[in-house]
């Protein structure tokens, strides 16, 4: 342990060496980041960046935000450098994660300003697309939270979402959008039941069970797409849910287009996340579910049915994942393509870890991932000198950073991934 003396008094404070070392590493990273930002995006760059803040058909025009590129970027670099020096001088600070998050957010604004130099970018469009692209990640992360809070690791979210997307397309083509959405939710719940059967009843390794489900669904949907949907195109032409503008709220500048001018999937995601937060942390059933995920033996001793609780929550997680999978077809393009979920289920697991197994944390993490996904597409439109292939990697690089623990170590439920055998 490291000892320090405060104000010359004989009072000693012992600091965790791991905390000190990590804070110093973050401090050095921030200094390097500041140098890269200043030299790469600020020095020698001329012109202004224009960010349009007025959405289409806006009742109250706001205009554009004009930002001088070089001065703004250099100021951001100076702020980040100050944070790095602060962490190096006070290596025992417990606000390193917060400073790192702020620094990364500022770095992104500096990079975006540099990329928009001499051009114009719709900031409202960027934020609106961020929310839309965060939706499937939020559903996937919430599905993971519902399962892992009772101790079941759900690697099969990708398969559940793919099954929901396929079912939504086929059922939506036959019986309409609402029927397709209901069918996708039911199929997701059925796959959740399969996962619960494998892990809770037969006590199969959770990772293996999830991989089996992913491979099973991928094989079935790929075969059905090539053998059925290709020759019967009428089964793959589902209606797409149209945006619903909330009266008055959709007219609020910036926040209105961002949150209140979307289709039902965005609103359903917000409602489900808030409902799950209330369920897990403010109800007796939620307390029992968390008890099962932390210490199933003690929960069983108190009369809680561990198996039933796990079955119910895993099925709920599957239904959420199936509902979220329908977004790819009924909420986006109206047809199913092979492997169209493109790893969003796995990114949702990273969002769950980033959000520390909390539904509202999942929402914040999903917005971060959604922003990374949207940003790489906007930068391609702006024709930045950064290779398009590297920009396409951005969401997955962010996933690796989160899972690697750069944002801080998060503690999973104690019984997460452990099978329970009743004595």
- Residue 402 has a pLDDT of 60
Give Cβ neighbours of residue 236 (< 8 Å, ≥ 6 apart).
Answer: 169, 170, 173, 229, 335, 336
294-304 pLDDT per residue, tens: 999 999 999 99
The DSSP element (H or E) to which 140 belongs, if any, is: helix 123-148
Lowest mean pLDDT among 349-363, 373-387, 391-405: 391-405
- Residue 298 has a pLDDT of 94
Confidence of residue 56 (pLDDT cuts 50, 70, 90): low
- Residue 117 has a pLDDT of 87
Environment class of 224 (CB within 10 Å of its CB; exposed 0-12, middle 13-18, buried 19+): middle
Tokens at residue 93, please? 């600070």
Confidence of residue 5 (pLDDT cuts 50, 70, 90): very low
What sign does the dihedral 402-404-410-414 (CA atoms) show?
Answer: positive
- Residue 102 has a pLDDT of 87
How many Å apart are CA 135 and CA 227, to the nearest integer? 30
Confidence of residue 1 (pLDDT cuts 50, 70, 90): very low
Q: Nearest Cα to 289, choosing from 314, 264, 320?
A: 314
CATH code at 129-403: 1.10.3470
Confidence of residue 89 (pLDDT cuts 50, 70, 90): confident
Q: For 37-47, what is the mean pLDDT?
A: 86
How many Å apart are CA 47 and CA 118, to the nearest integer? 5
Q: For 113-128, what is the mean pLDDT?
A: 87
264-273 pLDDT per residue, tens: 999 999 999 9
- Residue 403 has a pLDDT of 60
Can you give the residue ranges of every domain in the chain?
A: 15-118, 129-403
**For residue 3, pLDDT beyond 60:** no
- Residue 7 has a pLDDT of 47
User: Apex CA 371: angle with CA 370 and CA 372, to 5°?
Assistant: 90
**For residue 139, pLDDT beyond 80:** yes
- Residue 6 has a pLDDT of 45
Instruction: Return the SS3 of 14.
Output: strand
Q: 376 and 260 in contact (C-beta within 8 Å)?
A: no
**For residue 152, pLDDT beyond 70:** yes
Higher pLDDT, residue 245 or 295: 295
Give Cβ neighbours of residue 109 (< 8 Å, ≥ 6 apart).
Answer: 76
Give Cβ neighbours of residue 117 (< 8 Å, ≥ 6 apart).
Answer: 45, 46, 47, 48, 49, 69
Confidence of residue 8 (pLDDT cuts 50, 70, 90): very low
**For residue 243, pLDDT beyond 60:** yes
Q: Which residue has the tokens 């029927």?
A: 179
How many Å apart are CA 334 and CA 311, to the nearest integer? 32
Residue-wise DSSP of 296-355: HHHHHHTT--HHHHHHHHHHHHHHHHHHHHTHHIIIIISS--TTTTTTHHHHHHHHHHHT
Confidence of residue 405 (pLDDT cuts 50, 70, 90): low
The count of residues in the chain is 423
Q: For 103-128, what is the mean pLDDT?
A: 88
How many Å apart are CA 139 and CA 366, to the nearest integer? 9
Instruction: Return the SS3 of 52.
Output: strand
Mean predicted lDDT score pLDDT of the chain: 87
* φ, ψ for residue 3, nearest 5 deg: -110, 140
Confidence of residue 10 (pLDDT cuts 50, 70, 90): very low
**For residue 110, pLDDT beyond 60:** yes
- Residue 220 has a pLDDT of 95
Q: For 242-258, what is the mean pLDDT?
A: 82
User: Apex CA 357: angle with CA 283 and CA 288, to 5°?
Assistant: 30
Most confident of the following: 26-35, 321-330, 394-403 = 321-330
Confidence of residue 2 (pLDDT cuts 50, 70, 90): very low
192-234 pLDDT per residue, tens: 999 999 999 999 999 999 999 999 999 999 999 999 998 899 9
Lowest mean pLDDT among 270-274, 369-373, 394-398: 394-398
- Residue 404 has a pLDDT of 59
How many Å apart are CA 266 and CA 137, to the nearest integer? 11
Q: 131 and 266 in contact (C-beta within 8 Å)?
A: yes
Strands ordered across the beta sheet of 120-122: 64-68, 48-52, 120-122
N- to C-terminal Cα separation, the chain: 42
How many Å apart are CA 304 and CA 309, to the nearest integer? 8
User: Apex CA 184: angle with CA 157 and CA 137, to 5°?
Assistant: 40
């Amino acid at each position: 342990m490291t000892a320090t003396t405060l104000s010359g008094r004989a009072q000693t404070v012992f600091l965790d060496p791991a905390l000190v070392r990590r804070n110093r590493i973050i401090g050095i990273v921030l200094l390097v980041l500041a140098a890269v930002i200043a030299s790469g995006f600020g020095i020698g760059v001329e012109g202004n960046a224009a960010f349009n803040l007025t959405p289409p058909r806006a009742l109250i025009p706001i205009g554009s935000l004009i930002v001088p590129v070089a001065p703004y970027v250099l100021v951001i670099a100076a702020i980040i450098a100050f944070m790095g020096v602060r962490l190096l001088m006070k290596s025992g600070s417990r606000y390193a994660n917060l400073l790192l998050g702020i620094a990364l957010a500022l770095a992104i604004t500096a990079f975006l300003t540099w990329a928009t130099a001499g051009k114009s970018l719709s900031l409202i469009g960027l934020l609106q697309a961020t929310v839309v692209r965060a939706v499937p990640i939020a559903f996937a992360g919430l599905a993971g939270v519902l399962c892992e809070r009772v101790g079941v690791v759900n690697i099969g979210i990708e398969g559940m979402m793919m099954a929901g997307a396929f079912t939504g397309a086929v059922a939506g083509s036959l019986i309409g959008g609402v029927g397709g959405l209901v069918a996708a939710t039911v199929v997701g719940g059925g796959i959740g039941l399969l996962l619960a059967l494998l892990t809770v009843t037969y006590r199969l390794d959770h990772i293996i069970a999830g991989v089996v489900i992913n491979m099973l669904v991928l094989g079935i949907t790929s075969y059905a797409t090539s053998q059925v949907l290709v020759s019967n195109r009428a089964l793959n032409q589902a209606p797409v849910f149209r945006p619903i503008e909330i009266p008055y709220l959709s007219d609020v500048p910036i926040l209105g287009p961002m949150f209140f001018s979307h289709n039902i999937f965005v609103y359903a995601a917000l409602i489900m996340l808030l409902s799950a937060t209330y369920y897990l942390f403010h109800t007796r059933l939620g307390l029992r579910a968390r008890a099962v995920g932390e210490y199933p033996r003690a929960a069983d001793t108190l009369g809680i049915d561990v198996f039933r609780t796990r079955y119910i929550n895993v099925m709920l997680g599957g239904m959420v994942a199936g509902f979220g999978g329908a977004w790819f077809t009924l909420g986006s393009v109206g047809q199913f393509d092979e492997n169209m979920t493109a790893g969003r289920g796995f990114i949702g697991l990273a969002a769950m870890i980033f959000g520390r197994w909390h539904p509202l944390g999942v929402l914040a993490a999903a917005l971060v991932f959604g922003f990374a996904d949207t940003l790489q597409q906007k930068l391609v439109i702006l024709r930045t000198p950064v290779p398009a292939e590297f920009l396409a990697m951005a969401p997955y690089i962010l996933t690796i950073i989160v899972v690697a623990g750069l944002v801080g170590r998060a503690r999973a439920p104690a019984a997460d991934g452990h099978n329970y055998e009743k004595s």
